[in-house]
Structure 1
Amino acid sequence: MKYQSRKKAVIILADGTIFYGKAVGKEGTAFGEVCFNTGMTGYQEIFTDPSYFGQIMVTTNAHIGNYGVNADEVESDSVKIAGLVCKNFSYNYSRVDADGSLKDFLDENNLFAISDVDTRALVSYIRDNGAMNAVISTEVDRIEELKAKLAEVPDMKGLELSSRVSAKEPYFFGNPDATYKVAALDLGIKKNILRNLAKRDAYIKVFPYDATFEELKAWNPDGYFLSNGPGDPEPLESAIDVAKKIIAEDLPLFGICLGHQVIALSQGISTYKMHNGHRGINHPVKNLLSGKGEITSQNHGFAVNREEVENHAGVEITHVHLNDDTVAGIRIKNKNCFSVQYHPEASPGPHDASYLFDQFVEMISGKNAVNS
């Protein structure tokens, strides 16, 4: 596509700040919370991650699309971000095992994207002023109308979004003859989480976000899992109740990201919306139990209140984020329950955190590696 033929586009932030660019392909308009990811690779996984539902993604890497797409590298059945903002968009790609271009992939998923934006300036602005709602559009001559519509978009704080991405009916994943059975509550689950559990000899039954503890328990699983997902954890009253009951019966429970926050809320520990969140593939975390550092993949805009964890007699911090000392992992004392605020199933290079799935399976099998 010739540069000159592309439509002018605009990104307007909730505080009125404006950046300009050009449409990647089709004309359009999209609303959502603007946030950024610092990963140099993995754009397809990012775009299909249910945790990003309702967000306009700004990619900090200068080139997006240069290695195309591959059908095996999706985390859900469709693109989940609300829109894409990047610097240089590559219409041509070069990778042996690519099966298509990112442009065609975005068109097939009806995603509006803009490029040629000064993303360094935009990301710097978000870092200073915080993640906020925004609109991207090719209607550059209707700025005031776009601002008026943007003002009506609800804030992410208080927004329940798991219902928008969760399975409508239960389904199974893995080998029915596997040694272990895991009941997973789908708050916006990524496929690679299911792959990692199945790879460790687990057969998974995935339940909708609003399934009750009794429904999960009726399958007679050996362990329980609370998944990642989008939005604010506080409105997820049903999931919080599920976590509370699993922990009360001391059944093996593992939570990731939104699931981690739900577990904290079930113990009376609050969560809060972060200034701009953690989104990238090289976030440093320290395991306080082993003393080891981990390079992790992260994607979250909410966090668990550290002071409340430290003052809670029944909960212990197991991992901390080394950039800002936020809580990156907890465990419930004298219970078979632990959780982390990052993605051990995401392996953008390092596999530092994959041991967490092993610990979960060991906990299910009775070895109880977490609380030993």
Structure 2
Amino acid sequence: MSGAQGLPVPAVLVLEDGRTFRGDAYGAVGETVGEAVFSTGMTGYQETLTDPSYHRQVVVMTAPHVGNTGYNDEDQESQRIWVAGYVVRDPARVPSSWRSRRTLADELAAQGVVGISGVDTRALTRHLRERGSMRAGVFSGAAAARSAEELLARVLDGLAMVGADLAGQVTTTGRYTVPAVGERRYSVAALDLGIKSMTPQRLAERGVEVTVLPATATLEEVLSAGADGGVPDGVFFSNGPGDPAAAGHEIGVLQGVLERRVPFFGICYGNQLLGRALGYGTYKLKYGHRGINQPVMDLTTRKVEVTSHNHGFAVDAVAGEVRDTPYGRAEVSHVGLNDGVVEGLRCLDVPAFSVQYHPEAAAGPHDAAYLFDRFVDLMTARVQPPGRAVTGGSVGNTKEGF
């Protein structure tokens, strides 16, 4: 961002432990406060910016060059940019893509997103890895001229992510339906906790009609969101921001779904909520997983996937342990290979499973797309006449009780 006479507008990033990084304004000029986190993706920044899961977070991009392909009108995962602030090292001076409609800096400014460029993001990332994610503020223009004490006080006034119930701030205001592509095979009720537009599209491609409901939807509303107002063939809980321990309403709805044995699939935040519904705990990760290059092993197949992540909380469970829950047995189905964090859960006696990562990743990778087929298999197994074989994935296995 340039000011008078084309000179850069000064900006400063202040962390809650007092460390500061100086640079130039990028995007809107002003101030913002949120949780500082880093994303390791080399591409896909537009998906990151418009992912509601990043609500109230100041995102640090570890890739040194950002904005190279500009900003287009096709790759948005929601109707707006959700990040609280944006931190980059070297912004592109001129974007180069036939799909670009404007620069990333211009779009950030138009949507009022305060960012900073010229920051040593390598040093900043190392600091967050050592100290953990923390509150941070980006201040530019007149705001950056305040004293260090004033800026730090502003950061410390910001809200922490632990205990934050944020789904209601990013969810849809009303229900809507995404029709199946081609013949409708099944109907799914999707609870929007911060859903990305690619998720119902991936289901629609498999002949699934998706009715998206607000996070405040009751169990009765979820169970009447199927075709012609009936019980849906499946229920889906989306990704989203916040602390899963604060989502009491959504957990209660999910427990009702499990009691009625309606096939369930959860992604990211939905995975954490399934864990809590089953009786597992959740905890805050030191610095989380964010980016499109995270290796995960599917323990049911022993295959390794490269996956897209955005989560700061995780389910507290042990791989290999089968736990008795109020809804039957459950186990860890996926683990992260970098640190062993739980990346998926599978119920063995009711038709429910979830993963912590994003099989719908718009920028890729696409290793995990099979999970949508597993969900379809669960719904197929539920409506399949007795004695008929179920084809496809491994979760809907009749020998496991569903």
State the secondary structure of the residue aligned to 1:251.
coil
Q: Provide Cα deviations, 1:11-54, integer angstroms capped at 9, x if missing partner.
A: 11011111111102442101000000000100000000000000
Q: Provide Cα deviations, 1:247-272, integer angstroms capped at 9, x if missing partner.
A: 11111000000000001100111100
State the secondary structure of the residue aligned to 2:144.
coil
**Partners of 1:347 and 1:71 in 2: how far apart?**
14
Query: What's the % identity of the aligned pairs?
Result: 43
1:1-372 matches, within 5 Å, as 5-138=7-140, 139-142=143-146, 143-175=148-180, 178-219=184-225, 220-307=231-318, 310=321, 312-313=323-324, 314-366=329-381, 367=390, 369-372=394-397
Residues 363, 369 of structure 1: 8 Å contact kept: no
> Aligned-pair distance for 1:310?
3.0
Q: Provide Cα deviations, 1:134-174, integer angstroms capped at 9, x if missing partner.
A: 00102232122221121111110000110110011111112
Alignment gaps of 5+ in structure 1: none
State the secondary structure of the residue aligned to 1:221.
coil
> Aligned-pair distance for 1:91?
3.4
State the secondary structure of the residue aligned to 1:312.
strand
> Which consecutive segments of 4 or more residues in structure 1 shift more than 6 A?
1-4
Give TM-score, length-normalised by structure 2.
0.89
Alignment correspondent of 2:387? none
Give TM-score, length-normalised by structure 1.
0.96
> Aligned-pair distance for 1:186?
0.5
> Aligned-pair distance for 1:348?
3.5
Q: Provide Cα deviations, 1:67-118, integer angstroms capped at 9, x if missing partner.
A: 1112111110000000100001113101112222112211221111110001
Count of residue correspondences: 372
Q: CA RMSD for the aligned pairs? A: 1.7
**Partners of 1:246 and 1:349 in 2: how far apart?**
31
Q: Provide Cα deviations, 1:222-271, integer angstroms capped at 9, x if missing partner.
A: 11000000010111111101111111111100000000000110011110
Q: Provide Cα deviations, 1:157-197, integer angstroms capped at 9, x if missing partner.
A: 00011011001111111249622110000000001111101
State the secondary structure of the residue aligned to 2:74.
helix
Matched to 1:283, the amino acid is: Q
> Aligned-pair distance for 1:308?
9.5
Matched to 2:314, the amino acid is: A
Matched to 1:160, the amino acid is: D
**Partners of 1:349 and 1:160 in 2: how far apart?**
29
**Partners of 1:353 and 1:152 in 2: how far apart?**
40
Alignment gaps of 5+ in structure 2: 226-230, 382-389, 398-402
State the secondary structure of the residue aligned to 2:68.
coil
Matched to 1:197, the amino acid is: L
